[in-house]
Amino acid sequence: MKNGQPYQPYQPASVWSVDGTEPVTIPSGNTAPTTLLPMEADVAIVGGGYTGLGAAYTLAQHGQRVVLCEGRTFGWGASSRNAGMLLTGLSRTYSDIAAQYGSAVARKLFRASLKAVDHAVSLIEREGIACHLHHSGHIVLANRAHHMADLSREATLLQRECSHPVRLLSQTQLAAEIGASCFAGGLLDEASYSVHAAKFVAGLVQATLRAGAVLFEHTPVERIARLRHGFLLSTPRGDVLAQAVIVATNGYTGHLTPSLRRRLVPVGSYSIATEILPDHLAQSISPRNRLFYDTRHIGAYFRLTPDNRLLYGGRDITRPDQDGAIAARAHSLHHELLQVFPQLHGVRIAYAWGGNVCLAFDGLFHAGPLDGIAGLYYAAGYAGHGGALASYTGRVLAERILGIAEDDDLLALPPLPAAPIPYDGDPWFVPLVGSAWKLLDQVGR
């Protein structure tokens, strides 16, 4: 450590801004300052991340006139800053979902997660997206010995009710998968994949443009007005009249859709990445190049990147837009990383970044008509599991608009739940809840 920081100076940017030593650029759309929006579209989409692009791609392939408006740059939110994990499952365990919504809903949602991974892999291969797609599998790591009972129950349910093969790993078996001795065991699922997150976005933008969608960056939608026949979207580039609208703003949902904002909680998620590691050191961490996350309430996730860095991340009770939040979290993540992988003492931290993930009040993603309004759709609440789910959800919403949807697994949940407390979209309670979760983690609950 130097001056209390993890080997400063690190780049205050995502590790996905590079691939090895080469910078990664995400293509822009129709961004010339004088370019105006088309006056009409079949479908208008708000948000240029995985969900919005996935919907635009599907709609354009079916001959729809699609206009997508992104307030910043494509993938600016979690889509280009996540850990690059295309995971099976959801943000809550199968057993938790079954207990709240019943086994039938839990089965549908888990099946949807498998379809989401298959969709992402097929899309990447079909469009020739060069994003380091790798069939890695993932392991859920038990932080405490008694967490193994929970993982064992999860394995039994997934095998019995979903016919999905997973394997419980003892601490001894886990040693062949990870160069860390602090975990009591794990649950291995071979069906997950990894990607370079920003290159996936870049390829999805290119594929969507080829399909014929019109994409605008730096074009915030300021108002959505419901008309007798469709919707009028107002932006600094002009207005567009659309027959249907998809709001795909997730962790950055704002005052454009206040009813949606009041049902979503943005939570900070932070990551660091090391300098490029020698092969022998990378192999000592993850000899089979798996994806990992643990069983704590405020847990960690980590993986090797395609260029042999260790990406290590976790959530926190602070927001990334707070002064000093990223630097402070980089410090604590580096301390935690060294506890898990002491062999990395002396390795420089090269990148540190943060952003919002989005939680609904039941901890699950939701999608469907917004406020029951025909033609107005939303998708949100991936809670850190949107790598595969988001683009697939965009596709499913697009197919619903087209009237060709055959799969209702993804939309099995009831509507997005309302806040159980006074809430206007500003998550004042996150520090309180986060402190409680940290306490539970400390006592091993």
Instruction: Report whether pLDDT(231) > 50.
Output: yes
pLDDT tens digits for range 161-179 = 999 999 999 999 999 999 9
Least-confidence region, from 128-132, 160-164, 362-366, 435-439? 435-439
* Whether the predicted pLDDT of 18 surpasses 60: yes
Higher pLDDT, 441 or 138: 138
Is residue 274 a part of any domain in this protein?
yes
Percent of the chain at pLDDT exceeding 70 = 96
Under the banding of pLDDT at 50, 70 and 90, the label for residue 298 is: confident
In a domain, 6, yes or no: no
pTM over 0.85: yes
Residue 391 has pLDDT above 80, yes or no: yes
* Mean predicted lDDT score pLDDT of the chain: 94
- Asked if residues 268 and 429 have their Cβ atoms less than 8 Å apart, the reply is no
Instruction: Tell whether the model's pLDDT for residue 344 goes beyond 90.
Output: yes
Query: Treating both helix axes as pointing N-terminal to C-terminal, what angle do 147-162 and 103-127 enclose, rounded to 10 degrees?
Result: 80
pLDDT at site 430: 84
Residue 65 within any structural domain of the chain? yes
Q: Can you give the pLDDT at residue 371?
A: 94
CB 246, CB 64: distance < 8 Å: no
Query: Which residues have CB under 8 Å from 126's CB, separation 6+?
Result: none
| Enclosing domain of residue 165 | 15-419+427-443
Other Cβ atoms within 10 Å of 60 Cβ, number: 24
2 in any annotated domain: no
Q: Among 126-130, 155-159, 336-340, 410-414, where is mean pLDDT lowest? A: 410-414
Query: Does residue 1 lie in a domain region?
Result: no
Using 50, 70 and 90 to split pLDDT, how confident is the model at 214?
Answer: very high
CATH of the domain at 290: 3.50.50.60
Q: Mean pLDDT, to the nearest integer, of 325-348? A: 95
Is 370 inside any structural domain? Answer: yes
Number of domains in the chain: 1
Q: What is the pLDDT of residue 385?
A: 95
Mean pLDDT throughout 266-277? 96
pLDDT above 50: residue 3: no
pLDDT digits (tens, 9 = 90+) for 37-61: 889 999 999 999 999 999 999 999 9
Does residue 34 carry a pLDDT above 80?
no
Residue 316 vs residues 111, 132, 362, 382, 424: alpha-carbon distances, Å: 30, 29, 19, 17, 21
Confidence at residue 320, expressed as pLDDT on a 0 to 100 scale: 64
Lowest mean pLDDT among 86-90, 121-125, 424-428: 424-428
Instruction: Look at residue 220 and tell me if it is in a domain.
Output: yes
Q: Band of the pLDDT at 318, cuts 50, 70, 90? A: low
- Write down the residue that tokens 């000592």 correspond to: 284
**3-class secondary structure for the chain?**
CECCECCCCCECCCHHHEECCEECCCCCCCCCCCCCCCCEEEEEEECCCHHHHHHHHHHHHCCCCEEEECCCCCCCCHHHCCCCEECCCCCCCHHHHHHHHCHHHHHHHHHHHHHHHHHHHHHHHHHCCCCCCECCCEEEEECCCCHHHHHHHHHHHHHHHHCCCCEEEEHHHHCCCCCCCCCCEEEEECCCEECCHHHHHHHHHHHHHHHCCEEECCCCCCEEEEECCEEEEEECCEEEEEEEEEECCHHHCCCCCHHHHCCEEEEEEEEEEECCCCHHHHHHHCCCCCEEEECCCCCEEEEECCCCCEEEEEECCCCCCCCCHHHHHHHHHHHHHHHHCHHHCCCCEEEEEEEEEEEECCCCCEEEEHHHCCCEEEEECCCCCHHHHHHHHHHHHHHHHHCCCCCCCCCCCCCCCCCCCCCCCCCCCHHHHHHHHHHHHHHCC
CA 367 to CA 240: how far, in whole Å? 23
What is the mean pLDDT of the segment spanning 30-35? 75
- Maximal C-alpha separation, the chain: 65
The reply to whether 3 falls in a domain is: no
